[in-house]
A = this chain, B = another copy of it.
Amino acid sequence: MATVSARQVNIAIIGAGGVGQCFLFQLEQLAARRPSPKLVLTYICTSKKAIYSTDHVAISLGNVSSALAASQQAPLALPKLVDFLGSSGSKTVLVDNTSSQDVANSYPLFLSRGISVVTPNKKAFSGSYKLWQDIFAAAGQSGAKVYHESSVGAGLPVISTLNDLVDTGDEVTKIEGVFSGTMSFLFNSFAPTSGSGGKWSAEVKKAKELGYTEPDPRDDLNGLDVARKLTILARLAGLPVESPTSFPVQSLIPKELESVASGDEFLEKLPAYDAQMEQTKAEAENAGKVVRFVGSIDVATKQVRVGLEQFDLSHPIAALKGSDNIISFYTKRYGSNPLIIQGAGAGGDVTAMGVTSDLLKVLSQIA
């Protein structure tokens, strides 16, 4: 067992993909800048490989990627990882940089052993309501902390702001916004506030080529990603939403293309369905508006919905640029003009920033 030190905090990381790499860079810089508490990486794994030693020796942050590539160790099964981290004698933070449901499902186990969790993984907080309750109950009992700022809007201060509103006793009446960088880019190009925009299928193809969509664009167009984010915000606002499929979510995938085999085939066949989206755009234009893909939560009526809506050209949601997100909080204190947060809601650097800032919050409380 490693030497116990109140001013040392062990870090364990699961996932070393896009966000994971950015986080490792930020963690290395952080550890260099802040001598106390001493941050010690004692475990890191991908889905295939891992680095750790039974006596919790510090892993050098300088060359983790190449060390991982060269490693012969397999990842520990999650219950074994809980035991491993729990036996170090030091305060420990688990950083989950995956989007794995399995890892998410084991948060209550980590938390109940006093291991804090920070993560951009939406799955834990938008899965079953029981998992949500188990996570916060475990944290409440052990005193371990759990933060997930980047699960909505990446590094934008969305979750911390909503928590501050609720925790200080404000009444959130409505939350509305554009929660998907992909959808933002698609509609800002397809139905701009000035000019005519491109054909729908062409914009989807362009977004895919620019790397703004998932490998299969249907994973963006089905609305589930936005529904997961809405589930998280609704629960934080006090609504016990059962799951991201327990409220109306409009899919932009034509029924006939739901079951085609691949994303490429989907893109090939999509132009035949452009007329539907053109009509939706024309209807908005005839009303002097633009169409956008938004999520909204009406707290009083407990209605959560995700789908297309029309907005005046002067509305902040219509004026959004590029792939930015925008989130408006309507509350009793803020009255008719909402508190608005806007900016990039996706990307490795800004997502990792949310994770790093969550880690700093945990350190300020446990170290």
A interface residues, Cβ below 8 angstroms from B: 26, 29-30, 33, 155-157, 160-161, 164-165, 167-170, 193, 314, 316, 319, 321-322, 324, 333-335, 337-344, 347, 349-350, 353, 356-357, 360, 364-365
Residues on B with beta carbons closer than 8 Å to the beta carbon of A168? 26, 30, 155, 353, 356-357, 360
Q: How far is the CA of A169 from the CA of B27 in the complex (A)?
A: 9
Within 8 Å by CB of A319, from B33, B169, B316, B344, lies B316
Docked complex Cα distance between A319 and B193 (Å): 14
Measured CB to CB, the nearest residue on chain B to A156 is B339
A342 touches B339 (CB 8 A): yes
Copies of the protein in its oligomer: 2
- Flag if B344 contacts A334 (CB, 8 Å): yes
Inter-chain CA distance A344–B333, complex, in Å, is 9
CB pairs A–B below 8 angstroms (7 shown):
A155-B164, A155-B339, A164-B357, A333-B353, A337-B343, A339-B342, A364-B365
Chain B residues whose C-beta falls within 8 Å of the C-beta of A193 in the assembled complex: 314
Whole-angstrom CA separation of A37 from B334 in the bound complex = 28
CB distance from A255 to the nearest CB of B (A): 35
Contacts of A343 in B (CB 8 A): 334, 337-340
Q: Considering only CB atoms, which chain B residue lies closest to A168 in the complex?
A: B356
| A169 and B356 within 8 A (CB) | yes
**Given A164-B157, A365-B364: A341 touches B344 (CB 8 Å cut-off):** no
Q: Which listed residue, B160, B321, B337, B357, touches A344 by the CB 8 Å rule?
A: B337
Task: Decide yes or no: A167 and B360 within 8 Å by CB, A157-B161, A160-B157, A343-B340 being known contacts.
Answer: yes
Q: Does the CB pair B339–A169 fall under 8 Å?
A: no
Chain B residue nearest to A335 in the complex (CB): B344
Instruction: For A353, give the chain B residue with the smallest CB separation.
Output: B168
Inter-chain contacts of A29 with B (CB < 8 A): 169
User: How far does the alpha carbon of A365 sit from the alpha carbon of B366 in the complex, in Å?
Assistant: 8
Within 8 Å by CB of A337, from B316, B319, B324, lies: B324
Q: Is the CB of A353 within 8 A of B30?
A: no
CA distance A322 to B322 in the complex (A): 26
Contact A26/B169 with A164-B357, A337-B343, A343-B334 known, Cβ cut-off 8 Å? yes
| Contact residues in B for A321 (Cβ distance below 8 Å) | 337
A141 CB, nearest partner CB in chain B, Å: 13
User: A350 contacts which chain B residues (CB < 8 A)?
Assistant: 333-334
Known pairs A340-B342, A364-B365 / 6 extra A-B pairs, C-beta < 8 Å: A165-B353, A321-B337, A334-B344, A334-B350, A340-B341, A340-B343
* A324 to B328 CA separation, bound complex (whole angstroms): 13
Question: In the complex, how many angstroms separate the beta carbon of A150 from the nearest chain B beta carbon?
Answer: 11
Tell me the complex Cα distance, A302–B70, Å: 46
A-B pairs with the 10 shortest C-beta distances?
Answer: A339-B343, A340-B342, A168-B356, A164-B357, A333-B349, A29-B169, A168-B353, A157-B157, A157-B161, A168-B357
